[in-house]
Amino acid sequence: MIYRLIQNKKFIGTSTKKNEIFGKFDMHGISSKVSFFQKNIEEIRIRLSNNENFFKVFLLLFIYLFYSLIKKIISFFKIKL
């Protein structure tokens, strides 16, 4: 829904006061249990159904996959960034 508001209605973000609470999220909610690949498949589906450029969508997927691979390699060698 938020993606469609930004993409189709050209909504832009607004600032809030430093101490103002915008939302509260549970770190153990349902969205934290979705796998990396499920999240990306759903994001691709949403972007393509909203007529986003096919090349751009798969370029983003490649970047996500590359980023995930780098994170796994770093955690394997226990390198702290």
Q: Mind listing the pLDDT tens digit for each residue in 66-79?
A: 988 888 888 888 76
Domain locations along the chain: 52-81
What is the rounded CA–CA span in Å between residue 46 and residue 50? 6
Q: Are 40 and 61 in contact (CB under 8 A)?
A: yes
The predicted model scores a pTM of 0.51
Q: Mind listing the pLDDT tens digit for each residue in 24-61?
A: 666 666 666 778 788 888 888 888 888 888 898 889 88
